[in-house]
Every structure is written in structure tokens, then in C-alpha cells.
Structure 1
Amino acid sequence: MHWPHSAVLADQPFQRFLPLLVDLAGWQGKKPEGMSMQMSDASMTTATRDYERGPAQVHASVVVGQAAEGALAPIQTGVNLQTTEGHMITVTIRGMPVLKTFNTKDKSGALMVALSKDAMFSIAYEGVTEDEAVQLAEKFNWNALQTAAQMKK
């Protein structure tokens, strides 16, 4: 029996996130990639895209499943840690909880947006300021990502 090629591809949950990993003006975006894994007791879906602008780098990713739930734990507690080396703080942006981490020494950090209990959108960055990273993160449609994360197979 022959399966139509598109039917096989359409079955992968990560597919719906790829169009949402948009181009960023002034940045060279690589091809978005994804992975979906089903196990008897757990499932995980990821979609990622890397961007470069000279030495600066941005790594955008969506994670759905238990891995996201674990990574989002600090947001649940409302962590707020500031040191000379950097910070880890919880803020609200666009009505969603966001964990901002920043390493002062190598000017790198990450923003993790809680889309739901077990889904997150994150931007890891290097060579840009935290403010610019927030602006870049806001170029993605968080509500569309959240909707895609809630869709069941």
C-alpha cells in the first residue's frame, strides 16, 4: 500500500510550529527544524531555528512536553535572583510569564516564555543586549505559538 507523502509529513506535531519561527529583519535565519517523539508515558515536540548577525547569535525554540514543564519550574516560583555575574528574573510580557536570564561576563542570556504548563517558547542569545533580545522575541507571535502548542495530534 502506498501512502501519500504529504499524509506522512502532516502527522508530525512539530510541523505546525515551523512557519511560526519567522524571519528576523537584519538577521540570517537558518532553516527551521523540528522533532516529535512519542513514548508510552511521555511525548515531546521541539521546533528550533538559528539566526546570525555577524558574531551575534539567536536561537529560537519551542518545546512542548515534560521537558518544558521542568524548564518552566522557576517561573512557577517567581524567581528573582540578581548577582554581579548576572540575573534570573520572572516578569510578565504580553500577559505571559517570562523568565529572563542574563550572564554579564559573556553578554549572553535567554528568555523563556510560558505558553502553558507544558509548553514554552525560548530565545537564547549571545552578542546582543537583553533589551534587543526582548524586542526580537516579540517579533514572534506568542499567541499563535500558544494555540499551536494546545492543538492535540
Structure 2
Amino acid sequence: MIARRRLFGLAVALPALVAAALAPSSPVRAGDGLEPYAPLLVELPGWKAGRLGGMAMQDGGSRIVVVQRGYARGEIHVSVQLLAGAPAQSRLAAGGTGMKTEASHGPATTATIDGFKLTRTFQASDKSGTILIALGPAAALSLAFKGLGEDEALATAKSFDWKAMRAAVK
């Protein structure tokens, strides 16, 4: 029964998530629910930050947060998402089991850094990949990049305050 409720909740939220992801980002405005998360997706030195976008909603006991911001430095692009609720749970479930695996998009590895579980993918041919940081059982920070080496991508991810993010999405 609980699984059906979660599936139903995801089915209800999924169209809104897709619309939020496809909509052009807009500045944070009072009342849109993103204010608490705006300071977490900080300006990065040397990068041009895009506008903060996404959505935050709460219905009864469940909350969904998808806050995103893009960053550019020349031809290098990074997209950062702070996720809570069903979007984070689905990303974390796909994150892996702690084993190093090979897939068509490149290897996926997991590690623990500063007490946070990370799942990373990297495609050397175009220096692209993702870093998924588990902030809790239903919260994650996702960083997708193109044009960065693995070490620089991780250093960029560490520019964000993971502990503050975890506290904000509890």
C-alpha cells in the first residue's frame, strides 16, 4: 500500500518536475518557495552563474524540491541541482550499490567523502560526467558537467556547502 502511495505521488509530481526542468529559469521571486535554497547554489569564482530556477512544493507530509542553476566558464558547462523528496529518492536509487560498474556512458564509481556518499560517472572522450552526492535518504546534490576533468569536477562540487544543503532539505 505504501509503495502504491509513493508511486501515485511520483505520478502526480512527475509532470510538474518535467515542466520545471524544461521551463526557462527565472529569477527567484518572493513566494515561489525557492528563497531558502538560493544561498546554497552560490556564485563560483571564475564562473558565470545562470539564474536560479526550479520548484519547491509541499503537500501534506511530502515535499518536493528541485532547484537548479547552470554555470559556464568558456566552453565548460556545469549544471547543479539540489533535490529533495521523490526526485532525490529516484536519483539515489539509481546511484549504485557501492560497486564499480561499467556502462555504455562510462564507469560509475561510488565513494564516501567527508561522510557523504558519492556516485560518479566520467566519460574521458569529452570530459563529461555526473557527481551525485547523497545528502540524506531523500535529498541529493547533482552536478552534471562537460569539459572538466574528474578531479576538477569534484573540486567544483566541493565548492558547495554539503552540510548546509543537508540541513536545508531535512
Q: Same fold (TM over 0.5)?
A: yes
Q: Which residue of 2 aligns with 1:9?
A: 30
2:120 alignment partner AA: K
Q: Which residue of 1 aligns with 2:4?
A: none
TM-score normalised by length of structure 2: 0.75
TM-score normalised by length of structure 1: 0.83
Q: Which residue of 2 aligns with 1:73?
A: 93
8 Å CA contact 1:60, 1:123 repeated in 2: yes
Deviations along 1:28-74, whole A, 9 cap, x unmatched? 11122231234578541111110001110011110101111111014
Distance (whole Å) between structure 1 residues aligned to residue 130 and residue 57 of structure 2: 25
Which of 143, 152, 157 matches 1:132?
152
Give SS of 1:140's match. coil
The 3 A distance-change label for structure 1 pair 109 and 58 is same
Greater RCO, 1 or 2 (C-alpha within 8 Å, sep 6+) = 1
Q: How does 1:2-151 map to 2 (within 5 A)?
A: 9=30, 12=33, 14-38=34-58, 42-75=62-95, 77-82=97-102, 86-150=106-170
Deviations along 1:64-109, whole A, 9 cap, x unmatched? 0111111101446213114686210111111100000112332210
8 Å CA contact 1:112, 1:122 repeated in 2: yes
8 Å CA contact 2:32, 2:55 repeated in 1: no
User: Any gaps of 5 or more consecutive residues in structure 1?
Assistant: 1-7
Distance (whole Å) between structure 1 residues aligned to residue 103 and residue 97 of structure 2: 18
Instruction: Give identity over the alignment, percent.
Output: 35
Count of residue pairs brought into register by the alignment: 142
Give SS of 1:121's match. strand
The 3 A distance-change label for structure 1 pair 142 and 135 is same
Distance (whole Å) between structure 2 residues aligned to residue 84 and residue 48 of structure 1: 26
Bigger strand share: 1
8 Å CA contact 1:18, 1:33 repeated in 2: no
